[in-house]
A and B are shown apart, each in its own frame.
Chain A
Amino acid sequence: MKTYYNPDDLKNFGKIGEFQKPLADKFFDYYGEVFAEGALTAREKSLIALAVAHTIQCPYCIDAYTTDTMEKGCDEEQMMEAVHVASAIRAGASLVHATQMMNKVKEISM
Chain B
Amino acid sequence: MKSLKAQDHPLSSSETEIHYLERDMPNFSGDRFASELKKINLFPLKPTQIEVLQINLGKMCNQVCLHCHVDAGPDRKEIMLRETMQQCLEVLKNNSITSIDLTGGAPEMNPDFRWFVEAIRAIDSEVTIIVRCNLTIILANPKYYDLPLFFKKHKIEVASSLPYFTAMKTDSQRGDGVFEKSIKALKLLNEQGYGIEGTGLVLNLVYNPSGAFMPAAQAGLEAEFKKRLADKFDISFNSLFAITNLPISRFLEYLIRSGNYEGYMEKLIDSFNPTAAAGVMCRNTISVGWDGYLYDCDFNQMLELKVTSQDSQHLKDWNQQSLIKRNIIVKNHCFGCTAGAGSSCGGVTA
Interface, chain A (partner B; CB < 8 A): 11, 41-43, 67, 70-73, 75-77
Contacts and interface: CB of A to CB of B under 8 A. Distances in A.
Nearest to B207: A73
A70 B209 contact: yes
A71 B164 contact: no
Q: Is the interface of A mostly helix, strand, loop or mixed?
A: helix
Given A71-B215, A76-B169, 17 more contacts: A11-B266, A43-B216, A43-B220, A67-B213, A70-B211, A71-B209, A71-B213, A71-B214, A71-B216, A72-B220, A73-B216, A73-B217, A73-B220, A73-B221, A73-B224, A75-B164, A75-B166
A37 to B, nearest CB: 9
B47 to A, nearest CB: 31
Contacts of A41: 220
Nearest to B270: A11
Contacts of B216: 43, 71-73
17 contacts: A11-B266, A41-B220, A42-B217, A43-B216, A43-B220, A67-B213, A70-B213, A71-B209, A71-B214, A71-B215, A72-B220, A73-B215, A73-B216, A73-B220, A75-B166, A75-B168, A77-B166
How large, as a class, is the contact surface on chain B?
10 to 19
Interface of B: 164, 166, 168-169, 209, 211, 213-217, 220-221, 224, 266
Given A67-B213, A70-B209, A70-B211, A75 B220 contact: no
Contacts of B211: 70
A8 to B, nearest CB: 10
Contacts of B217: 42, 72-73
Q: Is the interface of B mostly helix, strand, loop or mixed?
A: loop
Contacts of B209: 70-71
Nearest to A43: B220
A41 B209 CA distance: 20
Contacts of B164: 75
Contacts of B266: 11
A73 B217 CA distance: 8
Contacts of B168: 75-77
A6 B217 CA distance: 30
Nearest to B210: A70
Contacts of B220: 41, 43, 72-73
Contacts of A70: 209, 211, 213
Nearest to A68: B213
B111 to A, nearest CB: 38
A43 B223 CA distance: 13
